[in-house]
Homo-oligomer: A and B are copies of this chain.
Amino acid sequence: MLADVELAKSYRLLNHGPTVLVSSAAGGRRNVMAAAWAMPLDFDPPKVLVVVDKSTYTRELIEASGEFVLNIPCRAQAAQVVQVGSESGHGQDKFASSGLKPMPGLKVGAPRVAGCIAYLECRVVQEPHNQQQYDLFIGEVVAAQADSEVYSDGRWHFADDAKRSLHYIAGGAFFATGEAFSV
C-alpha cells in the first residue's frame, strides 16, 4: 500500500543511491527511462538532481512540461529497468513495449510507474545553463509516496528480495540494496 512521505524527509527515499526510473508526459505523449545518476540536492523545500541526456525523448517531454517523476524500482522490475534504459522512446511507447504500467501522479501530469517502491513527483527548477551545459535538471519534490511494506516511519526496511531497490553497475548488471546495519 502506498503511503505519503513527509516532503522534508523525502530525501531519505534517495539517500542510499538507488537507480531510478524517470517518467514524464507532455501533450498526450509519455515516456519512461532509467537513470543511475539521480540524488537529493536539498532537504526543505526538497530538491533532487537528475541527469537527462539531450538525445532522450524524456528530455523533450520534461522540457515541454516542466515536470517529471523519479520512481524507485525494485528487483522484480530489473529486466524492465534495463529495457527502458536501453531503448529510446522516440517512435515507441516504452510503457507498452516494456510492460511497465503507468498510473497517475498526485500533483504532476507525468505518470508514475506502477509497482515501484517509492515516488518523488517533481517540478523543474529552471536552470537553463545546467540543463544545456551538463544535461542536469533540478526538481523540487512536490509529492512523495512509498510502499509501506518496505518504507515506513522514515526508514526503508527491506525484507523480500524482490522488493529491494537497485543500484546499476553496467551491462545489465545491478547490485541489490544489501544488509542494513548501524554503527
Contact = CB atoms under 8 A, between A and B. Distances in A.
Q: What copy number does this chain have within its complex? A: 2
A174 interface: yes
Interface residues of A, number: 48
A18 B38 CA distance: 12
Contact of A180 (B155, B174, B180): B174
A137 B15 CA distance: 18
Nearest to A49: B49
Given A16-B167, A39-B17, A176 B176 contact: no
A181 B173 contact: yes
Residue from A42, A175, A177 with most neighbouring chain B CB atoms (10 Å):
A175
A177 B177 CA distance: 6
A78 interface: yes
Q: Could you say which of A18, A155, A183 has the most chain B C-beta atoms within 10 Å of its C-beta?
A: A183
